[in-house]
Structure 1
Amino acid sequence: MKWFSISAWLFLTLSLLGCQSMAQSKTIGAGARVVNTVPGTSIVRASFNGQGMGGGGGEECCVSLPEQWRPGMTATIEWVKDPSPDVNPGGRRAPRWNPDGTTPPEWHRWMKEHEANYVRRRVTMAVPKYEKVSSLVLVFLPCDEVYPLIDSAEQGRVFGGLRGRSSQGWDDEVVRRLGGKTKCQR
């Protein structure tokens, strides 16, 4: 009888430990945005572990992030890049819309050709260590690199003191602060 009670206790203990190891870490909702530092391109859309966001640069709500960083944490980031916004191969610009705001058939044909030139990328990478979740900023760097910024102090280090977002110097300084490449190998 004693062995039965020890066996039952051991089974229960191991079962509870197994449940504990399967427990998901706590997550929190955070704003998300895209910052593109590559001149002459635009990010059409991006996702972080399947959670999508637009590429327009404004903060969106929300993505779910683990409340605490853990060693070995990875993320899959996917994005669609427009390598030549507003222009198709050969330099052809989009036809004008109709005066009433509707799109002519030529515009739809142009857009279909334009979207065929989009570049799709996917990378699974280690998530940089973070202490305090601020928001998720996916920073797109030259050479099809991406850097996920989550930590509030790190966001301050990268973006702090920068002025004039529209200047090329702003993009270059963000790339420098993140240790990104400026010359890509072909």
Structure 2
Amino acid sequence: MSHSLTASASSKGIRWILVLVSLMLLSACKGAPSKMLAAPVTGYNHTSAAINRFTVNDAGGPNLGPHQGGGKQSCCGVVPREWTPGLRAIVEWEKDPDPGGYIKRDQYGQLDAQDYKRHAANYSRHKVTVEIPQYDVPGNLKVHFLPCNQVRVSVDNVKPGDPRYPYNFPMNMPEPKVCPD
């Protein structure tokens, strides 16, 4: 009988220790909220070129056909929970100026490697650093590709088309013959 009382007391002691350890671990997790948040990446291409690939602060975005965007998202970039003055984004992209250009195919429908190399030789690669406008509530990383290799990025929780959105550009923007430097 004394053996079972000792075992019972011992298991109660172990349970109390486990409860205390669990409470300490939970209280350690209740620290301040993270300063950074994960954010899906969305792109908008306002040009006649194709955006083959792009990154914003090293987070990859979806490829974009001419005058397309907003439908696909990639996961994930990182954005500050709170906006600070001078907040910037680094955007890198590859552009195909002739997305409808013909590329030979073999009898099985596979791209001809040499003809693809000819086409891809016209791709251009770009990199810019842009300011991110002030936001109150963080949202998706939204990247707008504009004529003349101009880029705009927003992080707000407002969708394009809303009057509060900072970049309500038409999807089919006219492209100048000569771009300013």
TM above 0.5:
yes
Partner of 2:153: helix, strand, or coil?
strand
1:131-183 deviation per Cα after TM superposition (whole angstroms, max 9, x unaligned): 11221111111111011122123633377xx9xxxxxx9425xx6xxxxx864
* Equivalent residue in structure 1 for 2:99, among 85, 89, 98: 85
Partner of 1:114: helix, strand, or coil?
helix
Partner of residue 35, structure 1:
44
Identity of aligned residues (%): 31
Rg (Cα) greater in structure: 2
1:100-142 deviation per Cα after TM superposition (whole angstroms, max 9, x unaligned): x5x26xx111111211111111111222111112211111111
How far apart are 1:54 and its partner, in Å?
2.5
**Match runs of 1:91-106 below 5 Å:** 93-99=102-108, 103=110
Consecutive unaligned residues in structure 2, runs of 5 or more: 1-33
Report the TM-score, using the length of structure 2 for normalisation: 0.65
**Match runs of 1:22-171 below 5 Å:** 26-39=35-48, 41-56=49-64, 57=69, 58-87=72-101, 93-99=102-108, 103=110, 107-153=112-158, 155=160, 156-157=162-163, 170-171=170-171
Rounded to whole Å, the distance in 1 between the matches of 2:47 and 2:131 is 22
Give the count of matched residue pairs. 137
Partner of residue 185, structure 1:
180
1:21-58 deviation per Cα after TM superposition (whole angstroms, max 9, x unaligned): xxxx711111111110112x110111111222232341
Partner of 1:153: helix, strand, or coil?
coil
1:50-92 deviation per Cα after TM superposition (whole angstroms, max 9, x unaligned): 22223234112211111111111122111111111131xxxxx
Report the TM-score, using the length of structure 1 for normalisation: 0.64
AA aligned opposite 1:145: Q
Partner of residue 21, structure 1:
none
Rounded to whole Å, the distance in 1 between the matches of 2:171 and 2:100 is 21
Of Structure 1 and Structure 2, the greater helix share is in: 1
Partner of 2:148: helix, strand, or coil?
coil
Rounded to whole Å, the distance in 1 between the matches of 2:99 and 2:39 is 29
AA aligned opposite 2:78: S
RMSD of aligned residue pairs (Cα, Å): 2.6
Partner of residue 17, structure 1:
none
